[in-house]
Amino acid sequence: MAAPRHDHESPKTCGLDPQDNGDLATEATSLTWAQTILSGLSAAIGIQSAATRDRDFARGSLLQFVVVGVVLTGLFIGALLLVVTSLLP
């Protein structure tokens, strides 16, 4: 006879064991490009929450964050150049 399960116990996953299928586990836990871009934007303007930062460090890819950081920095510099050249005669 099986012991009763309490509500605070986590249920078993539907046969998806991270040790059995590394590819599926990696895809399920990695951040999407959209999540990485939104995280980079929120971090750039200083409104990123601690929960999002923890998620990024746990699931994020260094390559994704480097690419997003370089692109956002380039866009920022381009916007500054556009504003300065349009304001100066």
Condensed to tens digits (0 to 9), the pLDDT of residues 20-34 reads: 444 444 455 799 999
Domain presence at residue 76: yes
42/50 Cα distance (integer angstroms): 11
Q: Is residue 12 part of a domain?
A: no
Cα–Cα distance for residue pair 66/44, rounded to 1 Å: 13
Domain carrying residue 46: 32-87
Is position 21 within any domain? no
* CB 30, CB 61: distance < 8 Å: yes
d(C-alpha 12, C-alpha 15), whole Å? 8
> Per-residue pLDDT tens for 42-80?
999 999 999 999 999 999 999 999 999 999 999 999 999
Per-residue tokens: 14 = 């539907």
**Whole-angstrom distance, CA of residue 46 vs CA of residue 49:** 9
